Structures are given as structure tokens and as C-alpha cells.
Structure 1
Amino acid sequence: MKAVWAFESDATHALESVLAAIPIVTLQRIERNVMNGPHEFDIVVHLTAAGQPHLLACEVKQNGQPRYVREGLLRLKNILQRAGLQATPVFIAPYLSPEARMICQENQVGYVDLQGNVRLEFDGVFIERIVADKPAPDRRELKSLFRPKSALVLKTLLHDPHRRWRVEELAQSAGVSLGHASNVGSGLLDREWADRSAQGLFLAKPNELLDAWRDAYEAPPGKRLSFYTILHGKLFEEAARATLRTPALNARAVFASFSAAQWLAPYGRTGMQYFYADEAGLERLKTALQLSISGRGENVTVTIPKDRGLLEDTVEPAPGALCTSAVQTYLDLCVAGERGREAADHLRREKLQWAQ
């Protein structure tokens, strides 16, 4: 992270560039770290708009996550009120997500970020520009929140969004370290997807969390194998359930994707059956389902995922019908094409509805 003074310099240049592009604005001077009695403003801009003098009072933060935006806006508006200064408040950060920008807009505060997102309104001036791309660090940070180990924490929270969790309890339930559970919790708090009460951490916006996870989700890496079976209908179902019901030592297999959705929230059948399995689980499926390799007509897909957690995060809606959880099934359906997205939307309506 840059030193504060260096970032404030970048913020000043970004603001200058925006104002220079507005024909009716004439920039007089820009001051940094301006004291007004006991109050300090990060940047104060003196300008004229259509010949009339005006001030912009700016709060500069190196973190543009919603939590820090809300705190910064509160500070800026409070010191403006206490200082009795007639100025337009502006928030500046490296990057402001749509959620962060909406917080600014709801609080009637202008914003500028270093990615090019801008919204300023004062004295007959209105400028708004939205840049679609996220900066690479923000993409990496968001992606890390959805990595397999972090996903264990998210799924634990989504199982009961309104439960209050102590970090120790959350880590134990998710099967991760105390530090990792704490880091995931901090990431959720920064984005305001989670909140904290005296009883512990809870999801404040589970729907927004799931939306973001869906948008960032990619099919889990692993070995994907296709087979053919002569078993159909009830014969296939009985053979599969008998196998999944009695897992052997170190042999795991579960219904996945469309096949899991048929048990969780039936929508429309497909000609293909889907499983996640480990190597030993695959061998059991081969025997029980009479799977053979065929050059055409495959009707069973088995994925051996690198992430073993997919074989642990399961539900059993009927005896032997061991399935990936509703959250995991939803995510997998979302990347399974148009029919998958339709089935995912149906599953979400049936199984993943939370009041906020």
C-alpha cells in the first residue's frame, strides 16, 4: 500500500484531471491537509463554477470498501457541520465498487476514484462516469474470498445467516484455522455483507454475498470423466442411492449439479447424471452403475475435484440421495449453461431465500 502522502498526491491529480474537463469550472487552487480550527480536511479545492466561487471538501481513503466509505462519509459530514463550512463533500479512494458508490450517492456526497469512476454535482455542474473494469487487486481480493478454504466459512455462514458466531465457533464448525476464519469475517465486514453484534458475527446481506460468489464462480478444477450406463430411471436411482448410502472407508461420491438439483428442487430432467467423487468413490460408482467408456452416448459425468471439501459439504434429502449442498449445487448450475441457470434460479427460489 502506498504511503498516505503519496496516495493523497495521486488523489489530488485525479481530482484536477476531472475538474479540468468541465468547461464552466476554473480551478483556483488545491490545498492538502487543511486545518479549520480543530478540524482537518484531506483536500480542499477552491474553484469557480460559471464565475461563482465554490469549495470542495474531500475525504481521502486508501480503502474503498463500503465499511470504510461509510465511516469516511460520517467523518467528513460531521467535520463540515462542525466547521460551518459551505462546501460540497467529495470522497476519494483507489477504487469504489457499485455498492460503495451507491453509499456516496445516498449520502449526497460526490466521489472520485483512481479507476475513473466519478460523480460530482454542485452549482449547475453535474458529471458522472462509470468504468466497468475492476482493478486487479480488487479482483484478486474478491477471488481469494471464494477460494476453497474460505468457501468452507461462507457455506457455514450461509447455512444459517442469522446465527451469531464467535470466531472460535465459526473456525471449528468450518474446519479452518482461527486466523483464516477471522480473515474471512473481516472481508465480509469490509463489504458490509456481514455485521457484528454482542453475540458475534452474522451475515447481514446473504443475498448480496451469494450474488457476488455466483458472478465470480468458476467450475472447480479436477478430472472430469464421461461414461455410459445401461441403467435408467428407477434402476439407476436405486443403484446410485445404495452406493452413496453406504460409503466405504476413504471412498466418497455424491450427486452433483443437475442430479443434485433433482433431489433438492426438481426443475427439469436432463439425459446426463452428475457426480463428484474421489478415486475410490469413482471405482464404486463404476461397479454399482455398470459404467463403461463409450465413444458416444455418454450419460454419466463424474468429476474428481481437487477440492475435497466438495465431498464433505453435503445434504441427504432422501435416504442414500447424498447431494452437494444447496449453495454448491446452485453455484455449479450457474456455470452449466442456459438450462443450468434456469435450474439454478429455481433452486434459489426454493431453497436459498433469506430475509434481510
Structure 2
Amino acid sequence: MIKVKTDRYGLECVENKFLKLPNVQKYEVVKRTEDGFVASVEMDNGYEFLLNACVVNQVFPSTVMQLIEKQSMEQGMRILVSPYVSERTAAICEQNEMGYFDYAGNCWFVGHSIYLSEKGNKNPRPKEYKAAAIFERSSVVSSLILRELFVDVTRVWKLKYLAEKVDCSIGQVSKVMNFLQENAWAEKTKDGYMLREPEALLYEWSRIYGKKEASAYALYSLDNVSILEKKLKFLKKDMGIESYLTGFSGGVRYAPVIRYNKVHMYLAPEDIQEAIAYLEMKEVSSGSNVVIFPLENDSYIKDSRKIEESLVVSPVQIYLDCMQLKGRGEEMAEAVLMKEIIK
């Protein structure tokens, strides 16, 4: 756990919240501790209780889990104080009834007839807490490691095995696994690493993955979806061009839960113009019924499968892509998640 010398910000962000409450008569810090401070709160009816604050410079969900495990009412009510508290960390705190306060004024505390909740304040030092790079589209090696983990979400993984499967260094695998462990998405056991809360992990991956819009060709075809998908087979036979279905057209191959009228696919960048000409499509600024994503790296088609004579990207890629689609994209992603990934 990374600790920080308790500065005035850490003290004041808690003090200011409690002193504004009409039912709090008195608030004072009674002592400093190794990892924070202890404060006494006196209610207007004379009732007093202690807050045992743990102050950390940079907090991870794993930090919170450690605090929760050693939480004791004899030490007073444990609260977390940090310059920045992420949404995931905040959710874990609330689920386990642990209060938290950050320097931007965001907070949550429930106890002794007190309810405090404030969210949405912009952190004054956001540059220090950038989104995890391993989830970005450009992080190819990290992406391959994550995809391997989702091949079997119940498996215990060795670093050496993962490095060999992905063809990367053990150091790169270790970096990814340490990050997942810090954020309580993975845990280290005596036999290796295993995922915990894979659904939450995949959701966060899709959220950051979608922040940068994928390059794509929006196209219009006179053919309906069924005819167009049949033509893709001839595209391979006549022109030697492979296409990989994704989005709704790929998702229904795994979980037929929706109807769709737009085809999404991956093609090698050098094949796109030739495919557009062969399929007699044209680029449009609106009203497209075909979207082609350039296959910029092979991570997009890792673990792709042949279903009903069509090549389809993996369930993980379907999830990532469908979560970015408007309409029923999230419903499609959830169906594939439950049927193919979380078994």
C-alpha cells in the first residue's frame, strides 16, 4: 500500500464535509497515525464516534480490498482519503460500506444517522491518473495477453505460459498482470494468476477501447444483408480476399438475439478498395448499411472462428465492437458475454 504524509488537503477534505452537516456539533482530529489520522465526531444529541482515516497518495481497488479485510469497528469507522478515487474504487467502497473522500470534494459516507454523497467533481490533478494504456486500441501486446486470459476465465495462468502463447517477454506479461492485480481484476495464488470479476474487467476494457473511434469505411450496398453476406464467400473464392464479420452480423452467429440491417466486417487495408469495387458498394456520409474496419493488426482476429461458412471474430472482439454500437449494441454484447465468455 502506498502511503502519503497526511497534508492539509487530506485533513480538510473530510473536516469540511462533516462540519457542514447540521446534526454534527463538533469535529476534531485527535491523533495522527502511521497511515492517516483519527478524528472524533460529536453529534447534536451528544453521541460521539471515531473516524479512522487511511490516507493514500494513489489508491487502487486492491488497496481498498486490503482495508476492508482489516476493518475493525474497535478502531473506529474506517474511511479512505486520497487525492483521486476512481469510479471502480468508489463502487467497491460503497458495496462494502467504507466511506471515501477525495481532494476534489467527491465523497460517500453512511453511518450514525449521517449520509454523505457527492460525485462528479472534476479532479484538480487528472494528468496524474491517466486511463490504463493496456486497454487502448494501440496496445497490441497487452491486447493479446488479455484475449488469452479470456479464452478461459476460470483458469489459473502462469506468466511463462502466457509469454510463450503470446510470443512476448515475461516482463510484459508481468506488467499487465500487476496492473490487473492492483485493480482487483486478478489475484495471485500459489499456482499462478486468475481473473476475478471478468465481467467488470471486460466492461472497463470496452469503455477505454471505445474512447478513440476506430477508423472505418461507411458504405452503401443495394443488396440486402443476406445477399451481401453470401457475396463475401465469393469475394474469398474469386479475389482471395478474407473478410471477418463483427458487430451485429458477427454477434448473431454466437447469440441470435436481435435482427440487424447493417454488416460490420474487418478487411486487410490493402484489400478494401478492391473489395468495395467487387461488391459494388459506394462510400457515403450517411445512411450506410455496410461498415468496413481496416485490419490494422492481427489482435482483432485472434481466435476468430468459422461459423456457417463465414469467418467471425472472437466473442471478445464482438463484445468490444458491439459495445461501441448504438441501438442494441450493448444487448448484443451482453448476450455474447454470457453465452460464450462467462461460461
For the aligned pair, the TM-score class normalised by the smaller chain equals 0.7 to 0.9
Instruction: Tell me by how many angstroms 1:53 deviates.
Output: 4.5
Counterpart pick for 1:44 among 38, 47, 54: 38
Equivalent residue, structure 1, for 2:176: 184
* Alpha carbons of structure 1 residues 349 and 91: separation in structure 2 relative to 1, 3 Å: closer
1:145-160 maps to which residues of 2 (within 5 A)? 145-147=135-137, 148-149=139-140, 150-160=142-152
* Alpha carbons of structure 1 residues 244 and 330: separation in structure 2 relative to 1, 3 Å: farther
Counterpart pick for 1:278 among 259, 268, 275: 268
* Alpha carbons of structure 1 residues 336 and 106: separation in structure 2 relative to 1, 3 Å: closer
Distance 1:266 1:237 in 2: 16
| 1:128 and 2:116 correspond | yes
Other structure's SS at 1:330 match: helix
Equivalent residue, structure 1, for 2:219: 226
Other structure's SS at 2:282 match: coil
List gaps (5 residues or longer) in structure 2: none
Query: Does the CA-based 8 Å contact 1:192-1:204 persist in structure 2?
Result: yes
Query: Does the CA-based 8 Å contact 2:157-2:193 persist in structure 1?
Result: yes
Q: Aligned partner of 1:266: which letter?
A: P
Other structure's SS at 2:119 match: coil
Distance 1:246 1:90 in 2: 66
Query: Does the CA-based 8 Å contact 2:188-2:194 persist in structure 1?
Result: yes
Query: Does the CA-based 8 Å contact 2:37-2:53 persist in structure 1?
Result: yes
TM-score, structure 2 as length reference: 0.80
Other structure's SS at 2:266 match: strand
| 1:341 and 2:333 correspond | no
| 1:327 and 2:316 correspond | yes
Distance 1:138 1:349 in 2: 35
Equivalent residue, structure 2, for 1:36: none
Counterpart pick for 2:56 among 44, 47, 61: 61
List gaps (5 residues or longer) in structure 1: 34-39
Equivalent residue, structure 1, for 2:280: 291
Distance 2:99 2:287 in 1: 59
Distance 2:298 2:198 in 1: 24
* Alpha carbons of structure 1 residues 197 and 53: separation in structure 2 relative to 1, 3 Å: closer
Deviates more, 1:268-277 or 1:292-301: 292-301
Instruction: Tell me by how many angstroms 1:261 deviates.
Output: 2.0
Aligned-pair identity in percent equals: 21
Provide Cα deviations, 1:98-117, integer angstroms capped at 9, x if missing partner: 55345445655433222323
Equivalent residue, structure 2, for 1:351: 340
Instruction: Tell me by how many angstroms 1:241 deviates.
Output: 2.8
Query: Does the CA-based 8 Å contact 1:41-1:59 persist in structure 2?
Result: yes
Other structure's SS at 1:338 match: coil
Query: Does the CA-based 8 Å contact 1:273-1:301 persist in structure 2?
Result: yes
Equivalent residue, structure 2, for 1:15: 14
CA radius of gyration, larger in = 1
| 1:32 and 2:36 correspond | no
Distance 2:287 2:106 in 1: 51
Provide Cα deviations, 1:165-221, integer angstroms capped at 9, x if missing partner: 111222332344433322221221122121222221111111111222333341652
Other structure's SS at 1:216 match: helix
Provide Cα deviations, 1:272-295, integer angstroms capped at 9, x if missing partner: 3222112233255346x4334366
Query: Does the CA-based 8 Å contact 1:226-1:301 persist in structure 2?
Result: yes
The root-mean-square deviation of aligned C-alpha atoms, in Å, is 3.4
Provide Cα deviations, 1:203-251, integer angstroms capped at 9, x if missing partner: 11111112223333416522424253658735x4444235458996xx6
Deviates more, 1:68-77 or 1:135-144: 135-144
Distance 1:286 1:173 in 2: 35
Instruction: Tell me by how many angstroms 1:26 deviates.
Output: 1.5
Distance 2:239 2:182 in 1: 41
Counterpart pick for 2:291 among 267, 284, 301: 301
Provide Cα deviations, 1:82-101, integer angstroms capped at 9, x if missing partner: xxx5x333222233345534
Q: Aligned partner of 1:161: which letter?
A: V
Deviates more, 1:134-143 or 1:333-342: 134-143
Distance 1:192 1:186 in 2: 10
TM-score, structure 1 as length reference: 0.78
Q: Aligned partner of 1:202: which letter?
A: M
Distance 1:143 1:227 in 2: 35
